[in-house]
């Protein structure tokens, strides 16, 4: 059975050999409030207890501010499983998390009209 070298516990034919709910210990709800755009970053504090390989990999991805969605993609895990793993790291003080800054939702009408005019000229 050939193993691929691009991820933990992956097999060319079977895919992921460990089911995602096993990685999160069967938990489906994170304890920290995280969404896909939340930014997490390592604090430099070591987790008090040894964690699983996915926790370690996730922590290594968080040297700078990184979104939950990006970490889920790197881990090749569903977002909800990634949120559980990251919330474990937040709970033990190894990560900090912050919500993305809200954007100013005011729309510049003249900019939208210019874009519309440009599209009409091209079509």
90-99 per-position pLDDT tens digit: 998 999 999 8
Q: Taking Cα atoms as reference points, which of 94, 104, 113, 117 lies closest to residue 40?
A: 94
Place of tokens 């519309």: 116
What is this structure's pTM?
0.63
pLDDT at 2: 40
Q: How far apart are CA 84 and CA 112, in angstroms?
A: 40
Pull the structure tokens for residue 7.
Answer: 């991820």
Question: What tens-digit pLDDT sequence spans the chain (123 residues)?
Answer: 343 344 455 545 544 445 555 565 666 676 788 988 899 999 988 888 778 888 888 999 999 999 999 999 998 888 888 898 899 899 989 999 998 777 666 677 888 888 888 888 887
User: Using one digit for the tens of pLDDT, what is the confidence trace for 43-55?
Assistant: 988 888 778 888 8
Pull the structure tokens for residue 38.
Answer: 């939340």
| Residues in CB range of 65: below 8 A, 6 or more apart | 39, 40, 41
């Amino acid at each position: 059975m050939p193993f691929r070298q691009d991820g933990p516990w992956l097999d060319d034919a079977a895919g992921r050999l460990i089911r995602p709910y096993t990685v999160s210990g069967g938990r489906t709800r994170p304890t920290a409030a995280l969404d896909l755009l939340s930014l997490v970053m390592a604090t430099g504090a070591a987790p008090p207890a040894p964690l699983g390989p996915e926790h370690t990999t996730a922590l290594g991805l968080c040297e700078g501010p990184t979104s939950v969605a990006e970490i889920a993609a790197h881990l090749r895990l569903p977002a909800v499983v990634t949120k559980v793993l990251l919330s474990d790291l937040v709970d033990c003080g190894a990560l900090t998390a912050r919500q993305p800054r809200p954007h100013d939702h005011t729309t510049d009408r003249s900019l939208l009209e210019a874009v519309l005019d440009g599209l009409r000229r091209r079509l």
